[in-house]
Amino acid sequence: MADIAKLVEELSKLTVLEAAELAKALEEAWGVSAAAAVAVAAGPAAGGDAPAAEEQTEFDVILTGDGGKKIQVIKEVRAITGLGLTEAKTLVESAPKALKEGVSKAEAEEVKKKIEEAGGTVELK
Rounded to whole angstroms, how far apart are CA atoms 53 and 42?
10
DSSP string, 22-84: HHHHHHHHHTS--HHHHHHHHHHHHTSSS--PPPP--EEEEEEE-TT-HHHHHHHHHHHH---
The pLDDT tens digits of the residues spanning 20-38 come to 788 788 777 777 664 444 4
The pLDDT tens digits of the residues spanning 61-112 come to 899 888 888 899 999 989 988 888 898 889 889 888 888 888 888 888 898 9
Residue, of 112 and 57, whose pLDDT is higher: 112
Rounded to whole angstroms, how far apart are CA atoms 77 and 80?
5
Average pLDDT of every residue of the chain: 79
111 with 122: CB under 8 angstroms? yes
Rounded to whole angstroms, how far apart are CA atoms 119 and 74?
10
The pLDDT of residue 72: 92
Task: Tell me the pTM.
Answer: 0.54
* Nearest partner of 41 among 59, 21, 14, judged by Cα: 14
